[in-house]
Every structure is written in structure tokens, then in C-alpha cells.
Chain A
Amino acid sequence: MLRHVSLNAEAFYKSLILLGFSAFLFLLVKSNNIIYYINPRFVKLTEAAAVLILLMFLAQAGSSLRRTSGAHSCRHYGHGINKLTFLPFVITLLMAFLLPNNALDPSMADNKGMNLGARPATSGQYSPTPAVQENAPNAQTDNSNANNQGYAAQAQSLLRSKIDELQKAGLIKVTEDNFTLVTNEVNIYPEQYVGKEITMLGFVLKEKKFSAEQFGLARYVITCCSADAMPDGFICEYKNAAHFKEGDWLNIRGTIQLGKYEGNTVPIIKIATFSKVPAPQNPYIYPVYY
């Protein structure tokens, strides 16, 4: 009879764990803390998962209460359930419920390697301008003939108008919506943006290769989940840069200039004014594809 009890116990443990996971996902979506973990465009999937796990919980709970018949003994020959197999799930749930939800700390950017400085057109996630045109003297006018590979025509024109807007503006305001557009455009075609003013919010990043007056101003860009977070932003220059600590959040205003970093020509923001601010509610950037 022991084995029947153990079958029930197994289903019981499983149903408890399933309930825990379902509750965790529901609470995460409800409290909106889910934005610390995944790109919001996947939240619908998480909700669906929570519902499905709840259904699986009902199925397991149903069988843990069910009276076991003799036929059930066919699988659990002798050895009971190995409780160790539940350990990973239990640890995960403990971490999920006991530890605070928080965004990635800027200190991890060191390990990630910052997406700073020169980037070739190959990595132009948003700039559809072909690489050949990068060095063309009349790149600016050529931009309008940008290829449309990978983009629908309509999205293409939207992107086009966003970039045109950027190039006409005297002051570029970097927001959460245009963050990746600006960092890509300006890092790929810095000479087109020299002299423009720029305002931006980000956290301070220090790298050994920076000079004493330089620091990185970056934010994490999350495509799917925070495992693929890439720090993205600009190199900045300020005479008292040594006073900034890594991870400080700054609101800056400055001018785009050309500089050298690791032998490449890169845009560098000369800081005019700045203010220290607390970390924003949602520190991540979720890229938008135009």
C-alpha cells in the first residue's frame, strides 16, 4: 500500500510546485515587476503560461486526491519518488518569492562589454543605409535611397522620417522610445551629427580604456529577457568625470563631437550640464522596430 501513498505524494508535491509557479507568474505580471525580467512584448506569453500551469495544477491536484487503484502500481515499482528531483523547482520558487525584484545592476555591464564606440554598419539594427554609403561624401542625400531589405515599405518610411527628424533637429532628445534609434544612427554616422546638442538619461560606466575625463553613459537594451541585456549608449567627456561613480544615474546635456576610441572615430558627448538623478522606475530600454 505504501507505493500508492507515494504516488499521491508525488502528485501532491507537483501540484504545490505548479501552484507556486502559476502564482509567481500571475503576481509578477500583476505587480508589473515582470518588466525587470523580460521585454513587455512577451508578457502575453507569460500570462498564457501562468494559465496553463494553473490547469496543470488542477490536473495534478485532481490525481493527488484520486483514490488509487491497483492498476497504478505499474510504474512505481518499488522505489518511491526521488524528492531530489523537486529541489531545483523549490529553490527557484524560494528565490522568486524571497528575494526582491530588481533590475540588473550597472556593475554587470563590465562583464557584458559595452556596446560603445565605433560600430560598423553591419550592426546597424535600425539604420537601413548600406555600408558602402558610409564613406560616401554625399551620404546624407544618399540616405533617402536606403535599401528596404528586412523592412516593410511603410515601416521603412516611418524609420526614414524618424531619421530625417533626427538630422534636422538642433537638439536631439534621447527618450526611451528613440534610444536605440539615436545610439545606432549617431554611432554609425557620427560625422552627420557633429555639433548637435543632445540630452540623455543613463548610468555611468567606467572602463579601463577610458581616459580620466571619459566615462560611458549607457542603459541596458533588452530584446527578449535580461539575459540578453546589452549596455548601449555614448562615450562622454567631462573634466571632473572622476567624481562620477559607476552606476550613478545622470541627466546630461552636451554637444556631439568626434573623438578617438581604440583607434576608431567615434562620437563623444562633451558634457555642458548634468544633474544626478535617482534610477528611473524602469531602467531598461526595449528596442522598437520601425
Chain B
Amino acid sequence: MKKNAITLLFLLLSAYIAWHLLKFLPNITWADFLNFKTVFLSIIIEALPFLLIGVLVSALLQNFFSEETIRKFLPGNRILNILLASFLGIIFPVCECGIVPVARRLVGKGVPLYSAITFMLAAPIINPVVASSTAVAFGANPEMVWFRLGLAFFVSFAAGYLLSFWFDGREVKWGAAQDDFGCGCGHAHYDHHHHLPPAFTAKIFYTLHSASDEFFDMGKYLIIGSALAALAQTFVPRDIILNVGHHSLSSIASMMTFAFGISVCSSADAFIAASFAGNFTAGSLLAFMVFGPMIDIKNILMMLNAFQARFVAVLIIIVSLLVAVSTYLINFAAVGGVK
């Protein structure tokens, strides 16, 4: 039922976009189409290794780590739990293309939902790769790095903490990546039928198998998301959303929309943000660099596949509000400062 509803939503969204594109149709040339295809494939080629890392980590967690092992590492205290989750990206850098399956698998392995979500929001930003690329992009203005990391920490921590009061972990959907894996139901092979633990090679086989099942489960949303982002890049002139740079609140809103629409990898987005530095408020650049890696077209689709729509909606609202309000305050406080 829900699955059909989501498919319908995609169809409606695509139809809506197609309808808008029809107006441009006489102007769409073969070159435009090839540009679309180049951007579309380039996002997929760039994201594939990271999605694969994500599904592989998820499959390794599934096949090699028991719930008890993972529980041993978790602090019992909720705040400590969320704190740990927000800094996990430092030793475990997963980019946003691959983070959703890992977060879902962590929940399946007994990690509290709010910690998994905090990890999902924080890891794509609070990690060494992104920190150094931001430092290079904002070479002359290094405090932007600390603002970005600090803000990402604040937003993911606060979002996780708020969610911990409202949701208890039943909001996870499994889809094709059912708890039982292997060849459709791997567990059944060794847990129920043979009482011996599976051999190492068999575990490797199950891992690859569950990784590829989850690859198909998540990959289609990556593809649809990349297609939408490529459409936006090819056919929507940036001026439409970016004509409001100096206005504090509207610059933040437009930069968040922009980040959502172009779905660029979190290790590259700092360079795009830096190219707008002359015309946009510092707060809006931070909003772009904090909101984009947390929520964009392609990972929203993957989230909808992994979590209930209601939960995803609440998450998006919380993150948007946190980012908008805090960057607005930064703009307010740092008039003539950061900028």
C-alpha cells in the first residue's frame, strides 16, 4: 500500500516537472538532452562507490556483528548516545549517498532510532574529508569551517534529541532488505535449519548478496533523485532562485532550496558555496553547506524507502527549521563579522 503511494507520489512529481518542462519543449535541443545525460550519469558514477560502501557496511553489520556486540559499544545514557553518534563520522566517513542504508541497518541492530538519525545527519559533514575540502574552498576565511562543523553538530544533535521524544524506532521500513537476508531469506539457512554457524565463505556470499539486494533497494531512488537533480541543473536557470543574495532570510531560504535541488556531494559543495561568497550572506552559505548534505532530493527518496513518510516529514521540518533559525541568528549576529 505505502509503496504504491510513494510510487504514485514520484509519478505525480515527475508528471508535474514534465508538465513544466513541456513549456520549454521547443527550446530543448539535443545538446540539452546530452547535457542532462552527462550530469545524470556523472552524479550516478560519482555516488555509486559511496552507495556501495553504504550497502556493504550495512551488509557487514548484518552478517558479522550481533546485536549484543553493538549494544556493548553504546552508552546507556541518551545524551551520550547522541553525542557519540554525532562524532562517529570522524572515524567512519560515509557520504550522504550511502548513509541511509547504514542508518537503517543500525536501527535493525538495536541502535536507538534517534542515534541512528543523528549519525545519518552528522556523518556526511562532521568528517575529515569534508572539513578539509571546506578549508580549501574557504581558504581566506577559515572560520567558515568551524561554523559549518559546529552548526552541523548543533543541528544533528538537536534533531536527534527532539526525535528521541517523539519516535520510538517503529518508523523503520524494511522493504526488500528484510531482516532475513542471503538468498532472499539467508537467515533461514543457518539459523533455523542448520544449527551450526555459517562458514566464513558463506558469510561473505551472504554479505555480497545482501549488499546487492540493498543496492537495488536503494539504488533506484539514487537514480530517480539523480535524474531530478540533473533536470534541475540542466533546465532551471540559477538566477530564478538566486536573485535574493543580500536579503538575510530569503537568501537562506533560496540557498536551502538550491542545495536541495542540485544534490551535490558534501565534499564538493563547499566550492559551490564559495563561488557565491561575494553575493550571499554568510548564514545562507552555511545553510547551503549544512542543509544540503542532510537533506537533498536523492537522499530524501532513500529515506522515504527506509522510514515511514510521517517520520521523514517531521525530520525534514525539524532540520529545516533548525538550519533556517540558526543561520538567521548567525546572519544577525555577524553583520560585518563573518561576511
Chain B interface (Cβ within 8 Å of chain A)? 7, 29, 31-32, 34-35, 37-46, 48-49, 52, 56, 132-133, 135-142, 144-145, 178, 180, 183-185, 188-189, 192-193, 205, 208-209, 211-213, 215-216, 219-220, 223-224, 227, 229-230, 233-239, 242, 262-265, 267-269, 271-272, 274-278, 339
Q: Is the CB of B48 within 8 A of A127?
A: no
Chain B residue, CB-CB nearest to A45: B49
**Does A182 make an interface contact (CB < 8 A)?**
no
Q: Which of A59, A95, A102 has the most CB of B within 10 A?
A: A59
Q: Is the CB of B264 within 8 A of A105?
A: no
The residues of B that contact A37 with a CB separation of less than 8 Å are 38, 41-42, 45-46
Chain B residue, CB-CB nearest to A56: B212
Binary contact track A34-70/B, C-beta < 8 Å → 1, others 0:
1011100010011011001101111110110010000
Minimum CB–CB distance from A199 to chain B (whole Å) comes to 25
| Cα–Cα, bound, A95→B42 (Å) | 12
Given A88-B227, A129-B140, 16 other A-B residues pairs in contact with their CB atoms under 8 A: A14-B212, A55-B208, A59-B205, A88-B219, A89-B220, A107-B35, A111-B236, A112-B233, A113-B238, A119-B277, A123-B140, A125-B136, A125-B274, A224-B265, A226-B39, A227-B264
Q: Is the CB of A102 within 8 A of B139?
A: no
Knowing A111-B235, A125-B271, A130-B140 touch, does A36 contact B38 (C-beta < 8 A)?
Answer: yes
| Cα–Cα, bound, A100→B37 (Å) | 10
The residues of A that contact B276 with a CB separation of less than 8 Å are 123
Interface residues of A in 72-86 (CB under 8 A from B): 72, 74-76, 84-86
**Does A150 make an interface contact (CB < 8 A)?**
yes
Minimum CB–CB distance from B273 to chain A (whole Å) comes to 9
Chain A residue, CB-CB nearest to B131: A150
The residues of B that contact A57 with a CB separation of less than 8 Å are 212
Q: Is the CB of A49 within 8 A of B48?
A: yes
Q: Is the CB of A111 within 8 A of B188?
A: no
**Does A126 make an interface contact (CB < 8 A)?**
yes
Binary contact track A113-128/B, C-beta < 8 Å → 1, others 0:
1010011111111111
**By DSSP majority rule, is chain B's interface helix, strand, loop, or mixed?**
helix
**Does A257 make an interface contact (CB < 8 A)?**
no
The residues of B that contact A71 with a CB separation of less than 8 Å are 185, 188-189, 192-193
Q: Give 9 nearest A-B pairs by CB, closest first.
A: A150-B135, A56-B212, A225-B46, A59-B208, A122-B277, A224-B268, A37-B42, A225-B42, A88-B223
Chain A residue, CB-CB nearest to B142: A149
Q: Is the CB of B139 within 8 A of A228?
A: no
**Does A1 make an interface contact (CB < 8 A)?**
no
Cβ contact of B45, chosen from A28, A59, A86, cutoff 8 A? A28
Number of interface residues of A (CB under 8 A): 83
Q: Is the CB of A224 within 8 A of B264?
A: yes
The residues of B that contact A84 with a CB separation of less than 8 Å are 7
**Does A110 make an interface contact (CB < 8 A)?**
yes
| Cα–Cα, bound, A225→B228 (Å) | 16
Q: Is the CB of B268 within 8 A of A34?
A: no
Minimum CB–CB distance from A149 to chain B (whole Å) comes to 4
What would be 14 A-B contacts, judged by CB atoms less than 8 Å apart? A14-B212, A21-B48, A38-B46, A103-B38, A104-B35, A111-B236, A122-B140, A122-B274, A123-B275, A150-B138, A227-B233, A228-B265, A228-B272, A230-B272
Q: Is the CB of B262 within 8 A of A227?
A: yes
The residues of B that contact A274 with a CB separation of less than 8 Å are none
Minimum CB–CB distance from A247 to chain B (whole Å) comes to 9
Minimum CB–CB distance from A151 to chain B (whole Å) comes to 7
The residues of B that contact A96 with a CB separation of less than 8 Å are 41
Q: Which of B139, B144, B212 has the most CB of A within 10 A?
A: B139
The residues of B that contact A124 with a CB separation of less than 8 Å are 139-140
Knowing A46-B48, A48-B49, A111-B236 touch, does A118 contact B37 (C-beta < 8 A)?
Answer: no
**Does A218 make an interface contact (CB < 8 A)?**
no
Minimum CB–CB distance from B209 to chain A (whole Å) comes to 5
Minimum CB–CB distance from B203 to chain A (whole Å) comes to 12
| Cα–Cα, bound, A290→B45 (Å) | 26
Minimum CB–CB distance from A270 to chain B (whole Å) comes to 24
| Cα–Cα, bound, A96→B272 (Å) | 27
Q: Is the CB of A149 within 8 A of B139?
A: yes
Q: Is the CB of A121 within 8 A of B188?
A: no
Q: Is the CB of A59 within 8 A of B139?
A: no
**Does A92 make an interface contact (CB < 8 A)?**
yes
Cβ contact of B44, chosen from A63, A92, A149, cutoff 8 A? A92
The residues of A that contact B35 with a CB separation of less than 8 Å are 104-105, 107-108
Q: Is the CB of B43 within 8 A of A60?
A: no
Knowing A75-B178, A111-B233 touch, does A123 contact B41 (C-beta < 8 A)?
Answer: no
Binary contact track A226-259/B, C-beta < 8 Å → 1, others 0:
1110100000000000000000000000000000
Q: Is the CB of B140 within 8 A of A89?
A: no
Minimum CB–CB distance from B256 to chain A (whole Å) comes to 18
